[in-house]
Structure 1
């Protein structure tokens, strides 16, 4: 990566030198009688912009066509003795393709940096297992941990219970409370879940309205105790909502299933718990 940054620095320096020479030339030799050079200056900058968006290959092809037309025009002028061509008039033959080449290479290296940055960002997202809004593990972390815990249960014959908590009427709550107030409510729900579980229990944010708790060495009866604690926290949260003059009741659905050998894997385990949510009315 470092050598690419060095290349970019070199091409920037080359571009500055290139522009300095062209601007100096324009300052000393352009005047109202020399409209051709003024047009060529405009074409140069158009070529640079075209190369920036289209790439070095198309830019060089375009500059080649421009140079050919310009050189042909100058030769035509000389041949017919319409106008005497100064040597410095041919600066465009060199500096248009040179400028295009420098900008093209600069863009190429910038694109390499951008592509590597996007790749790193994608890889980072794949590795991240923490939801930034709640501080809980996310869906990726959920399946990773669930597969691992299922394997551990099979080896050591210990109990494992999965609980899912879903906030009912989430979209309606967003409309009534607004996004900011709902965010605060969700934070309090998350805090209640954390306070109701052990340190060794793993908590997840599966999506905006759905949370999960993976409880190792816990059976269904143990999960019922956790459920009662969470429901008590929700009652207290409803009191908080009413104190803020919001005439609504926050409702949650809670389902829990203990793992058994009949369950084929993580996906089926989650589906079974979500079916339990349907019976929680």
Structure 2
């Protein structure tokens, strides 16, 4: 909620500064065009005010304030010279150019302040997205990116301590047909329910990953041999079958079934974590 409020405040400041600058530009153009006697002088002063505002935007507000002080000092000195030496009277144009340049700078500063806030919020969102990329947003499971890192550690442990390590790859049978029968909300619920069932079917020291959301593919790293992995696979299938029989699963038009393939890690045959996934995925063909 706080981030949303900050983004809203940044957008409001940016929009307010931009609209104020447009209004001031319109006022400056009307003032310059209304007095033909001092047209050239007013054009020069208007360009000077624009230049100060642009420098304040690209450098910083302190630079803008300093340049505005120099502008006001120079213009005030010029007006005093005209009054004392020439005998001119102070007209409305003098007050206009004493007020407008600081207003231009203030409008540009307001716009740049809002823009910088939006940029900071955007960077924060990008960092948050990069962190969330390690977790699937629908199932809240670790993704294939994390699997690649974890698998490297687990494979090293398996080789060093001779601990059996097996990868289970699970897919929803007839997934392409199932997804055509359900809405996007139901598909999200299916992935979430199956992820929860799989999580409750394994031990705490085993790891569950969402390898491919579009194809409904999970990966389970189990510290067990092929026989133990087969027991876990049957347990998961039994839990899914029991889930299908429950009354609350009736909104799902199609009955959910899983295909499970497994491959026990062998340092001589498994080249990488993705090669391991491929070898386990090939075993899906034999789960009919």
TM interval, short-chain normalised: 0.5 to 0.7
Maintained 8 Å contact 1:188/1:237? no
Where 1:206 maps in the other structure, the secondary structure is strand
State whether structure 2 residue 233 is matched by structure 1 residue 227.
Answer: yes
Structure-2 change in CA distance of 1:243 and 1:251 (3 Å): closer
After TM superposition, the score normalised by the length of structure 1 is 0.64
CA distance in 2, matches of 1:171, 1:95: 68
Maintained 8 Å contact 1:202/1:214? yes
Offset, 1:246: 5.5
Structure-2 change in CA distance of 1:158 and 1:246 (3 Å): closer
What per-residue deviation string (whole Å, max 9, x for no partner) do you get for residues 111-170 of structure 1?
333333333333333334333432322223222211211122222221111111112333
Matches within 5 A, 1:127-276: 127-128=131-132, 129-208=134-213, 209-216=216-223, 218-240=224-246, 244=250, 248-262=254-268, 263-276=270-283
Where 2:219 maps in the other structure, the secondary structure is strand
Structure 1 alignment gaps of length 5 or more? 27-34, 61-83
CA distance in 1, matches of 2:196, 2:209: 12
Alignment: residue pair count: 226
Maintained 8 Å contact 2:237/2:257? no
CA distance in 2, matches of 1:243, 1:116: 44
Give the counterpart of 1:98 among 95, 102, 117: 102
Relative to structure 2, which stretch is displaced further, 148-157 or 102-111? Answer: 102-111
After TM superposition, the score normalised by the length of structure 2 is 0.63
Relative to structure 2, which stretch is displaced further, 238-247 or 102-111? Answer: 238-247
Offset, 1:94: 4.5
RMSD: 4.2
CA distance in 2, matches of 1:169, 1:98: 68
Where 1:275 maps in the other structure, the secondary structure is helix
Maintained 8 Å contact 1:241/1:248? no
Offset, 1:176: 1.5
CA distance in 2, matches of 1:39, 1:145: 73
Matches within 5 A, 1:84-95: 87-95=91-99
